[in-house]
Amino acid sequence: MRFITMPWSKMILKFMAAKAKVFGLMIIVLTAFTASAQDNEGFVVDEVISKIDNFIVLKSDLDKYYQDHLTNGGSPSQEVKCQMLAMLIRNKLMMAKAEIDSVVVLDAEVDNNTQRRMSMILAQSGRTPEELEQIYGKSLDQIRLELRDQIREQMIVQKMESTITEKVSVTPSEVKRFFERIPTDSLPYFSAAVEVAQIVKIAESSKAQKDAARNQLLELRSRILAGEDFSALASKHSDDPSVVQNKGDMGWVGRGEMVPEFEAMAFKLKPNEISMPFETDFGFHILQLLERRGNEYHSRHILISPKPSKDDLNEASQFLDSIRNLVLVDSITFEAAAKKHSDDMATKGNGGYFIDQAGSQRVQIDELDPVVFFKVDSMAVGDISKPIVYRTDDQKDAVRILYYKSRIPPHVASLKEDYQRIQMATLNEKKNRILEKWFQKARQDVFINIDRNYDYCGILD
């Protein structure tokens, strides 16, 4: 008796949708830290449950995903487990086809992505690196290597999907037909949504504070040249959040991956030479070139970010207050002011508006930044807030004003109110159909074997 009767490609597409909703990006982080099952002798108990050309799926891989499903409130389900297995096999199939088709990602891109994830893990855990090592029984280097392998696979799979579906688009008539096919009693119910825009001014540090940052780096440079350990000084003094796990070592990167000033300095130095202090958008650095090969280089740095003073923040607030007054007397629209004056690149091009994953300005309340939500919740529709001091995602001191344009009450989905969301759903369905055809063809090009214990899933039917 089979639990699953749908074609394997539809099964994995169904799980892809569920995974995006329940797990999101963090599943990659969580599975990197899941402890492997061990027997009484202390050896890892594991087995290969599927082989796809030169790639394998381990039972522990499936168990990790399924455990995360249960941890996140999912109910025990053999169907879900089968969907997860199909998803894991699908990813390995993508990897096998990428190998055949010579689809690759650069090691430097993988390293940078891994470094960002490690920084995020450490920041969100609220623990020291030593505490994490003790909790998971692994060194940070071991955790980083495991995470790197997962991220590399994720990036290759995403690149394959993008290559397969890159020319897919939908017309308004396709969106309308998609919506009309949904039974009335199956239309999604959307929670309240809001349209909120911002204008951001990053506070600029005074000359005195910049000079202090340069002088501190000059002192650190002298101590390094006198024999003190670069990594130890970076760990103690650098303002780069990633220093807690990389001790200032930026790894191998290629041209175009770092800000221009950093890259220019790296290619100017000789191996082991330490630069004089130089400035980027992140602050002031000293950089040591460790090694260079062609268009790639390996370096380490210490970053000191000058902290704006109260006067600097007041100056930014006064600037935004003047912009607010111009908008209130109709001398300029909020959207035009945001495009011209905002320092936030993520919202500036949208006229300052926050957007959701579907690209809609109408962001559901539960998807809005909580800090923004609590401020907007105290405002009336049409209000523009007074300047608010806050810290950006990249830890810069800044000031912003918020414009609360509209509120859309909870409602059943409609083309008029939710066109962009429905358009995205239409596009995803079309991409899924193309991916399904690709899966059916690709499975003929590679060897796939699945443990007979999972025959009930019907993955290859």
CATH number of the domain where residue 84 is located: 1.10.4030.10
**Residue 350 main-chain phi, psi, to 5 deg:** -95, 15
For 319-336, what is each residue's pLDDT tens digit?
Answer: 999 999 999 999 999 999
Residue 358 has pLDDT above 70, yes or no: yes
Instruction: For residue 185, give both structure tokens.
Output: 């009693």
Beta partners for residue 450, in sequence order: 50
Residue 10 has pLDDT above 70, yes or no: no
Q: Check residue 210 and give its pLDDT.
A: 92
**Helix (H) / strand (E) containing 442:** helix 415-442
Q: Check residue 31 and give its pLDDT.
A: 41
- Give Cβ neighbours of residue 215 (< 8 Å, ≥ 6 apart): none
Q: What does the alpha-carbon distance between residue 175 and residue 280 come to, in Å, rounded to a whole number?
A: 45
Domain that holds residue 244: 207-304
Residue 167 has pLDDT above 60, yes or no: yes
Centroid of chain to Cα 325 = 36
- Strand 189-190 to 48-52 pairing: unpaired
Residues 324 and 404 in one domain: yes
Give 258's DSSP letter.
Answer: S
- Give Cβ neighbours of residue 126 (< 8 Å, ≥ 6 apart): none
Q: Check residue 459 and give its pLDDT.
A: 83
Q: Check residue 450 and give its pLDDT.
A: 92
Number of CB atoms found within 10 A of residue 281's CB: 12
Residues 292 and 435 in one domain: no
Residue 141 belongs to a domain = yes
Residues 42 and 161 in one domain: yes
Q: Check residue 45 and give its pLDDT.
A: 58
Which of 270, 304, 338 is the last residue in one of the domains? 304
Length of the chain: 461
HEC per residue, 356-409: CCCCCCCEEHHHCCHHHHHHHCCCCCCCECCCEEEECCCCCEEEEEEEEEEEEC
Q: How many CA atoms lie within 13 A of 283 on its CB side?
A: 25
Least confident of 112-116, 311-315, 431-435: 112-116
Whole-model pTM: value is 0.63
Instruction: With beta carbons less than 8 A apart as the criterion, state whether 238 and 434 touch.
Output: no
Percentage of the chain modeled with pLDDT above 90: 50
Q: Which amino acid is at 83?
A: Q
Which of 393, 411, 429 is the last residue in one of the domains? 411
**Residue 273 main-chain phi, psi, to 5 deg:** -75, 145
For 125-158, what is each residue's pLDDT tens digit?
Answer: 767 777 778 887 888 778 888 888 889 999 999 9
Mean pLDDT, range 349-378, rounded to an integer? 90
Residue 179 belongs to a domain = no
Number of domains in the chain: 3
Q: Check residue 20 and give its pLDDT.
A: 39
Residue 71 belongs to a domain = yes
Beta partners for residue 404, in sequence order: 196
What is the SS3 assignment for 41? coil
Residue 3 belongs to a domain = no
Mean pLDDT, range 48-77, rounded to an integer? 89
Residues 438 and 375 in one domain: no
Residues 314 and 242 in one domain: no
Instruction: Compute the chain's Rg from CA coordinates.
Output: 26
Residues 21 and 113 in one domain: yes
Q: Which ranges constitute the DSSP H helices of 238-389?
A: 243-246, 260-268, 310-328, 334-341, 345-348, 370-376
Residue 182 belongs to a domain = no
Burial state string for 238-261 with b = 16 or more CB within 10 A and e = fewer than 16: bbbebbbbbbbbbbbbbeebbeee
Residue 407 belongs to a domain = yes
Beta partners for residue 406, in sequence order: 195
Percentage of the chain modeled with pLDDT above 70: 90
- Give Cβ neighbours of residue 274 (< 8 Å, ≥ 6 apart): 221, 224, 225, 286, 287, 288
Q: How many CA atoms lie within 13 A of 209 on its CB side?
A: 14
Residue 148 belongs to a domain = yes
Instruction: With beta carbons less than 8 A apart as the criterion, state whether 298 and 266 touch.
Output: no
Residues 19 and 96 in one domain: yes
Residue 263 has pLDDT above 70, yes or no: yes
Residues 352 and 435 in one domain: no
CATH for 316: 3.10.50.40
Q: What does the alpha-carbon distance between residue 107 and residue 44 come to, in Å, rounded to a whole number?
A: 29
Q: What does the alpha-carbon distance between residue 291 and residue 37 come to, in Å, rounded to a whole number?
A: 40
Q: How many CA atoms lie within 13 A of 32 on its CB side?
A: 28
Residues 360 and 332 in one domain: yes
Q: Check residue 8 and give its pLDDT.
A: 41
Q: Which amino acid is at 319?
A: F
Which of 304, 329, 347 is the last residue in one of the domains? 304
Q: Check residue 384 and give its pLDDT.
A: 97
Residue 146 belongs to a domain = yes
Q: Which ranges constitute the DSSP H helices of 193-242?
A: 207-225, 230-237
For 14-45, what is each residue's pLDDT tens digit?
Answer: 444 444 333 333 333 334 444 343 343 444 45
Instruction: With beta carbons less than 8 A apart as the criterion, state whether 316 and 203 touch.
Output: yes
Residues 124 and 165 in one domain: yes
HEC per residue, 68-92: HHHHCCCCCCHHHHHHHHHHHHHHH
Closest CA to 403 of 380, 433, 429: 380
Residues 143 and 166 in one domain: yes
Residues 218 and 160 in one domain: no
Number of CB atoms found within 10 A of residue 78's CB: 11
